[in-house]
Structure 1
Amino acid sequence: MRLSGGCNCGQVRYELDGEPIRVGICHCETCRKGSGSAFSFFGIWPRTGATLSGELGCWQSRAGGERFCPRCGSPLFCWAEGSDEIEIKLGTLDSPPSALVPAYELWTIRREPWLAPRQGTEQHRRDRGDAGD
Structure 2
Amino acid sequence: MVTESMRTGGCACGAVRYEVEGEPYQSGLCHCTKCRKLTGSIFSATANWRRSKFKMDGEISTYDKRSFCPICGSRLFFMFDDGVEVFLGTLDEAPNEIRPMVEVWTVRREPWMPPIPKVRLYDENEHAP
What TM-score range do you get, normalising by the shorter chain?
over 0.9
The RMSD of aligned alpha carbons is 0.9
5+ residue gaps, structure 2: none
Moved over 3 A (4+): none
Deviation, 1:68, is 0.3
Given candidates 18, 36, 57, the residue that maps to 1:53 is: 57
CA-to-aligned-CA distance 1:102-123 (integer Å, 9 cap, x gap): 0110111111111111111000
Instruction: Give the TM-score normalised by the residue count of structure 2.
Output: 0.93
User: For residue 70 of structure 1, what is the aligned residue in structure 2?
Assistant: 70
User: For residue 26 of structure 2, what is the aligned residue in structure 1?
Assistant: 22
Identity %: 42
Given candidates 35, 41, 52, the residue that maps to 1:37 is: 41
Are residues 1:88 and 2:86 paired? yes
5+ residue gaps, structure 1: none
Distance 1:5 1:98, change over 3 A: closer
Amino acid at match of 1:56: I
- Measure, in 2, the Cα distance between the counterparts of 1:37 and 1:18: 27
- Measure, in 1, the Cα distance between the counterparts of 2:39 and 2:70: 16
Amino acid at match of 2:98: L
Q: Is the 8 A contact 1:107 1:126 kept in 2?
A: yes
Q: Is the 8 A contact 1:91 1:97 kept in 2?
A: no
- Measure, in 1, the Cα distance between the counterparts of 2:120 and 2:13: 35
User: For residue 7 of structure 1, what is the aligned residue in structure 2?
Assistant: 11
